[in-house]
Amino acid sequence: MTRTDIYDPHLTGEITIPSISQIEAVTVSLPFVTPFSISSYTWDCKEALLIRIDSGEFSGWGECVADPDPFYSPETTTSCLHIIKEFIVPLIREGKSFTDFLREMDHIRGNKMAKAAIENALLDLIARMREVPLHALLGLEKKMIMSGISIGIKDTVDELLDSVAEAVEKRYHRVKMKIKRGKDVEWVAAVRERFPFIQLMADANGDYSINDINHLKELDVFNLLMIEQPLSYSDIYFHSKLQKEIDTPVCLDESIHSLDDAITAVELGSCRIINIKEGRVGGIIEALRIANYAQSRGIPVWSGGMDETGIGRAFNIHLQTAPAFTIPGDTSETLRYFKEDIVSPIVTLDDEGFISIPEGSGTGVRIETDKLKKYTLRSENLTGLLKK
């Protein structure tokens, strides 16, 4: 199967880039309620690069999911801003078809997070100008979104159990616990013993090697929904060997940066589930291509999170209206991570653990200017980089 066989969202051939009056890059830092730890690093705040694109009275916002450091991804907020300024903004031109714009961005190798920030800001802007919700612009129907929570590595098992208990009480549809060497089998066993019926998964963030097959096999007895990215963040091949040896479904996350990666992983049998982070694969359009391909091959997908502000969370919510997203994603309540956000409404769960799509055009979220100003580290006007 080739890329040309994959459903391509119809909207890209129908829309053009509007007249742009201003582009601004804004870097914010939102403190976490508690530090968030994965196998490779711990963060105590979310530093996010935001992009605002204006056309007259309308504004569209996008969020770059890169961190200020290269400990999760090679891309950083600084490197992304450089790519946006030097190579992406000059491609934005009034009247250019969105399809042509995406094709021109393809000439820029990698730098998916930088591309996604601009693509999403433009889509939000266009949807607001057309006075339609983002999911409608994408040709998708409104629905309630399943919730999922990602629990970082804790200092003790008791702390972990307390966090899972809180998630169960809030009726999250799925619980993900981070694991690493030394905090894996016994920790999963403790959670499963206390909560035998929850949808539970483990995320290793690439902390193991193919030599750990026998150790990872020990997780099979816990009836996990999946184990996410157990091997190297860049690997697809060795995951295929691992999946043949363990019963637990392998989910690939960091290895999937494009539709081509997804095709390779499925053809090799490297995973039975795919985590699609739209900000990591280059934006919502590529995310939909991957989702539709996976659905055609019977591979479930879900929407991963990057501890986004309310801007990025809104894009993830709209993406999950696509039929291919059948597993609860990493979409959780805002106050679980941040004491306050820079948008309204914030993400909340209803009594059954579901999330409503924000009402209104575009993503539906509104920027709270006072909070944006409060958490802004720096801003830069990029309008002069537009080519006439």
Q: Match 């720096």 to its residue by tokens.
A: 378
C-alpha distances in angstroms, 310 versus 62, 110, 317, 344, 356?
10, 25, 10, 8, 14
Query: Active-site residue numbers?
Result: 178, 277
The pair of structure tokens assigned to 382 is: 């990029």
Grouping H, G, I as helix, E, B as strand and the rest as coil, residue 62 is strand
Q: How far apart are CA 224 and CA 146, in angstroms?
A: 18
Tokens representing 144 are 């309630």
Question: Could you tell me which residues come within 8 angstroms of residue 109 by beta carbon, excluding any fewer than 6 positions away?
Answer: none
Query: Which among 196, 186, 189, 203 has a CA at the least distance from the CA of 148?
Result: 203
Going by C-alpha positions, the residue among 129, 135, 132, 166 that lies closest to residue 151 is 166
Residue 362 gets which letter from DSSP? Answer: B
Q: Give Cβ neighbours of residue 281 (< 8 Å, ≥ 6 apart).
A: 112, 116, 256, 257, 258, 287, 290
- Return the beta strands (E) in 304-344 as ranges: 343-344
* Sign of the torsion angle spanned by Cα atoms 133, 139, 141, 144: negative
Distance, in Å, from the CA atom of 324 to the CA atom of 104, rounded to the nearest integer, reads 28
C-alpha distance from residue 204 to each of 37, 107, 218, 321 (Å): 11, 33, 14, 27
How many CB atoms neighbour CB 278 within 10 A? 28
